[in-house]
A and B are shown apart, each in its own frame.
Chain A
Amino acid sequence: MSTPLLEVRDLAVDLHLGGRALRVVAGVDFEIRRGETFALLGESGCGKSMTALALMRLLPDVGAVAGGAVRLDGEDLMARPEALMRELRGRRMAMIFQEPMLSLNPVMTIGAQIGEVLTGHLGLSAKAAAARTVELLTAVGIADPLRRLDEYPFQLSGGMKQRVMIAMALAGEPELLIADEPTTALDVTIQAQVLDLLKRLQAERGMSLLLITHDLGVVANMAHHVAVMYAGQVVESGSCEQVLQRPRHPYTRLLLTALPEVTGPNQRLATIPGQVPPLDGGVAGCRFAPRCAWVRDDCRSLAPGWDGTLRQGVRCPHADGLAALPEAPRGAGASGQAAGSDVPLLRAVDVSVHFPIRAGLLRHEVGAVKAVDGVSLSIPAGRTLALVGESGCGKTTLGKAIVRLNTLTGGEISFAGGDWSGLRGEALRSRRNQVQIVFQDPYASLDPRMRVADILTEGMAALGVGRNASDRLARVDRLLDQVGLPAAARWRFPHEFSGGQRQRIAIARALAVEPRLIVCDEPTSALDVSVQAQILNLLKDLQDELGVAYLLISHNLSVVEYLAHEVAVMYLGRIVEQGEAKRVLKRPQHPYTQALLSAIPRVDATRQTQRVVLGGELPSPANPPEGCHFNPRCAFADRVCREAYPPPVQADEREVRCHHVVQAGGAYVAAPLRPRLPGEL
């Protein structure tokens, strides 16, 4: 380890937007050693992607490197002419982007796209390139690579596309691989596969990996060394273990306590108030000062310098004298226990939603996508039921069916003792206030052309809540106060708010009509960790205060752990395990739940269970596998599993649909299942 592979010194990047220059990266220093995984950690808008693009000299047209040096193996990249830079890209440094769907050319075959790199950089002949492509595809774990060569990107699933992207990046045998949020667009089980792959490839080839991510769990699992970025600066740097176990900078500390998995389910999450500051204009003092819990007077005026060495240090003069974080106040009572009752507010029996597949000239039905296929569940008043599963398992469809945005194909839903799924026309319209929904994307769920007050009163006016317009406006003020926004917000437009604030408005909109059940469809997955904590606290407070029940749809199990009383795990349109949240998440019974839980990258290494990596991907709901839907990916599947769908079994005080789970009454067995041996049927 003589010279580091990549040295970045005082790198500064400006973005020129609308005549103003924003310093999005303001003096970043770090170095990456050979064979090392270096993680750049930070929330959105802190400049980590811009740093990566600047290293490759691939900044957008409005961006420009304003200063600093980037040395690859001692050679200054900023001095290299553009023509020579092209030789470097893909050869010595390669990059993987966040969206595998957008990074592959849709009209080129997989073989041609990888071959392009090989013939271009390594000067291989077409024949040799094809052979090498097959080797690369095998290396990234793509089954049947010969057939895949002639396929187009649309024929591959998301996880496969990301593998192809990785294969493409590896084609030039780079010394440095830059991975910009490589798994953010993927499901947990696929994320686990891709992370394992990256880890294995790095170990095999001894290349360096610059991992850019906002996910602390991914960092904990992958990185050797971490640099935490905030508002264009590195605020803390050190070995992975050191930064995550003994964080020194206030931002890192708060970020870690904002994670629901670190805080217990009945505690309030620590939040970081406010948001990443806009980067225009000169920032006087510490950039984190406005949000810091330990802020002192001199923080606001004096910009803190770097304290420590390049490999390890912190940008905070008070880092070592910080008191322990004041104990966050506990949530009122045992969170909704008082309000909760055993009488189900909503009961769904055997609900299914099928979408017809039409084909041919006369558009006749040739089949159906069974998005939801015979699901039964009940939500007690004032409690939270979480619906968990990978994307495409039908959880959002079920949520929308409960709000009556989809039509049911079969089954029925009753609400508060009365019929719900059978209501039509005016009868349905007049009761729509009872069940409301909060969507995933706060940017798409608010009409950009309406002011906040109009957004909030729209539902009230339609459902006749409030006597007149002034009465409704008074309610708007109350709602804004409830969700923690100033009353002045009501005459502003959605684009003037940040993501977290928008999600608050969306929650206020649902609350406006006094619903008894709110379907929360991935309410925090589009938000940063610190903002996620604010929203989760808000949801919990509202439940304690108003006794509203939630159907929480999420793929993030730590959010579920924090908020839910009960959990239902969905796989391919059916619920495979359902029971009390604590039990299900602590001692999962169904193999799918076990795999799902183990796939989550945990920050706390002691909680990382033995990884059960699932092979393959979610099958199409239009053509589910015979027998148990999970059998092709299950390590325990046998002949019974391939023949019959398992009936519900009571086990360990919950309902599980698996042939191999011990019946109710039997003792709980920690590992009831023996993995299938090779050659065994």
Chain B
Amino acid sequence: MIDLTTIEPALLWTDVLLIGLVLALVGLVWHIRRHAHLAAPWRKVALSRAGMVSASVLAVFAGIGLLDSLHYRPALPDAPALAAGPGAAGKALRHSVELRHSVELRSALDALLDPLPTQVETTYSAPMATRAFNKTALEGAAPGGTARDYPRLKFGGAHLADEGAAKVRDIGERVVRGALSGLACAVGALALLALLCGPRAAIGRFRGWLFGNGEDATHWAAWTLLGIATLAGALAWLAGGYHVFGTDKVGQDVLYQILKSIRTALVIGTLTTLVTLPIGVVLGIAAGYFRGWIDDVIQYLYTTLNSIPGVLLIAASVLMTQVYMDTHPESFETVTARADFRLLFLCLILGITSWTGLARLLRGETLKLRELEYVQAAQAFGVSSWSILGRHILPNVMHIVLIAMVMDFSGLVLAEAVLSYVGVGVDPSMISFGTMINSARLEMAREPMVWWALAAAFVFMFALVLAANLFADAVRDALDPRTRVRGVA
């Protein structure tokens, strides 16, 4: 593991925003828990099995993304050696010479996955393979000098002497051992958590988590997490000896790439809503409440914006950023910082082009709300318009905002993939589902086909988007007053 005293934490812009968002979310949850009327609809989410399963899958994705957002710069290996010179002179030197840090940013996820990021083969290799995908000239393999054959991989299955039956047994052993240890770890963690919540009823609580308390579906979340832990355990043990999802053109492990892509998808999905939300909410309810010329201006604005092809606008802005970055290289310390700037800008421009749907939705709802009698009662009290917007309109459209936010998330993750494919997405050096799919374009044309990168990206992106959609459905069912069972006479 890394020596925590020698690293230098580094904060990228997206890290700051993402962590800020998580803190805000925690604050919101705390606020909702304190208010019974706000918490009531969320309990209905806990009643839905699909909601709980998708929420826990989303939580795992979010955890990976968050780990990948804790960036730092490791100390260069020679720096401590230099500092640790003998005698008083060496001590003085240690004080005067600071630790030198790498220009390459690493994240907590990289550290956790070590040595996976560094286990780079020369080129393509299939999942679980022990030999490369292409033949190369091997020296000394045949008695006559060189021969063309599939070379053994440097890391994939390198521990095996025999590639036949031993490989199968080894894989089987790793899967069983990994799955069991993953499951044991998860159960242990749950038990520890139950104990930490208060030792008195720990056993009952633990049993409730696992077998349900007869009221809600939270035990489904627990089972999902156990399932994921089992899967992750098996994957981790396999990844110790093999490239589970193969390697790409430059020999990098596809599993590693997938895990790195998750952060990009999450950043796009969440930060963009951070941009959309204020614009959409303010313009939407202002248009609906004030009517008249304000409504006209806002409507013209979003109708115009909607009529411009989004991709065109995004392409233009991204290319402009690229020009700025190329002419101001001094502003960016590392390659990652450059890529991050472009990612942030992509979020911004995606946000600016995608607030129109939310604004239109909120305008319609506000038009209805402003005619309601409690709003008129407030007007009769001479309450100022902005107070009415904040106190009466906004809280009553919040459920729409929430639903739209969760629904938009999956759309934005897919949008990133499409934009990167077109070439106006994230920086090419940044790993994302989009860049993976983009490179798969050529791999699919090969004979025999290199299918694993695309398949892996597809499976993970599918899981993420499906979980987001199912969660959005559960949230909508719980929060939308129209789906509630009405009272009957």
Contacts and interface: CB of A to CB of B under 8 A. Distances in A.
B377 A445 contact: yes
A449 interface: yes
**Which of under 10, 10 to 19, 20 to 34, or 35 or more describes the interface residues of B?**
20 to 34
B303 interface: no
Nearest to A50: B488
Contacts of A17: 485
Contacts of B373: 439-441, 444-445
B42 to A, nearest CB: 15
A459 B383 CA distance: 7
Interface stretch (B168-176, B352-360, B388-396): B388-396
Nearest to B387: A462
A403 B381 CA distance: 10
Contacts of B392: 447, 450
A44 B391 contact: no
A631 to B, nearest CB: 34
Given A444-B374, A462-B381, A493-B37, A449 B489 contact: no
B381 to A, nearest CB: 4
A432 B382 contact: yes
12 contacts: A48-B489, A50-B488, A404-B380, A429-B382, A439-B376, A444-B374, A449-B396, A458-B378, A458-B391, A459-B377, A493-B37, A495-B37
Interface string B470-489: 00000000000000010111
Nearest to B485: A17
A659 interface: no
A30 to B, nearest CB: 18
Contacts of A400: 376
**Which of under 10, 10 to 19, 20 to 34, or 35 or more describes the interface residues of A?**
35 or more
Nearest to A442: B373
B483 to A, nearest CB: 13
A446 interface: yes
Contacts of A60: 488
A436 interface: yes
Contact of B489 (A44, A450, A509, A513): A44
A50 B489 contact: yes
A12 to B, nearest CB: 15
Interface in B386-435: 387, 391-392, 395-396
Given A48-B489, A62-B485, A458-B378, 13 more contacts: A45-B489, A429-B382, A430-B382, A432-B380, A437-B377, A444-B374, A445-B377, A447-B374, A449-B395, A450-B392, A458-B381, A462-B381, A506-B377
A551 B59 CA distance: 58
B485 A49 contact: no
B379 interface: yes
Closest 4 CB pairs of A and B: A445-B373, A459-B381, A429-B382, A439-B373
Interface in A436-483: 436-437, 439-441, 444-450, 458-459, 462-463
Interface in B9-33: none
A428 interface: yes
B323 interface: no
B372 interface: yes
Contacts of A432: 380-382
B364 to A, nearest CB: 18
Nearest to A43: B489
A446 B376 contact: no
Contacts of A435: 380
A173 B488 CA distance: 29
A24 interface: yes
Interface string A15-54: 1011000001000000000000000000011011110000
Contacts of B395: 447, 449
Interface string B453-482: 000000000000000000000000000000
Nearest to B489: A49
A405 interface: yes
B380 A458 contact: no
A49 B488 CA distance: 8
Contacts of A439: 373, 376-377
A462 B382 contact: yes
Contacts of B378: 458-459, 462
Contacts of A462: 378, 381-384, 387
A47 B487 CA distance: 12
Interface of A: 15, 17-18, 24, 44-45, 47-50, 60, 62-63, 400, 403-405, 428-430, 432-433, 435-437, 439-441, 444-450, 458-459, 462-463, 493, 495, 506, 509-510, 513
A229 to B, nearest CB: 11
A50 B489 CA distance: 7
Contacts of B381: 432-433, 458-459, 462-463, 513
Nearest to B376: A405
B188 to A, nearest CB: 34
Contacts of A429: 382
Contacts of A440: 373
A604 B372 CA distance: 38
Q: Which of A18, A62, A439 has the most CB of B within 10 A?
A: A439
At the interface, is chain B mostly helix, strand, loop or mixed? helix
Nearest to B396: A449
Given A449-B37, A509-B377, A458 B383 contact: yes
Contacts of B487: 45
A445 B371 CA distance: 10
Contact of A448 (B387, B396, B485): B396
Contacts of A495: 37
B382 A18 contact: no
Contacts of A493: 37
Contacts of B382: 428-430, 432, 462-463
Given A50-B488, A458-B383, A444 B391 contact: no
Interface in B327-380: 372-374, 376-380
B290 to A, nearest CB: 15
A459 B374 CA distance: 12
A62 B487 CA distance: 11
A60 B381 CA distance: 42
B20 to A, nearest CB: 26
Given A432-B381, A450-B391, A15 B488 contact: yes
Nearest to A454: B391
A314 B246 CA distance: 83
A23 B321 CA distance: 67
A400 B379 CA distance: 11
Contacts of A430: 382
A62 B486 CA distance: 10
Contacts of B37: 449, 493, 495
A356 to B, nearest CB: 13
Nearest to B394: A449
Contacts of B488: 15, 24, 49-50, 60, 63
Q: Which of B372, B374, B395 has the most CB of A within 10 A?
A: B374
Nearest to A403: B380
Nearest to B44: A18
Nearest to A509: B377
Contacts of A458: 378, 381, 383, 391
A405 B379 contact: yes
A474 B118 CA distance: 70
A463 B379 CA distance: 11
A325 B411 CA distance: 68
A459 B392 CA distance: 13
A495 B40 CA distance: 13
B201 to A, nearest CB: 25
A405 B377 CA distance: 9
Interface in B157-211: none
Nearest to A436: B380
Nearest to A448: B396
Q: Which of B373, B381, B384 has the most CB of A within 10 A?
A: B381
Nearest to A400: B376
B12 to A, nearest CB: 38
Contacts of B374: 444-447
A581 B381 CA distance: 31
A37 to B, nearest CB: 21
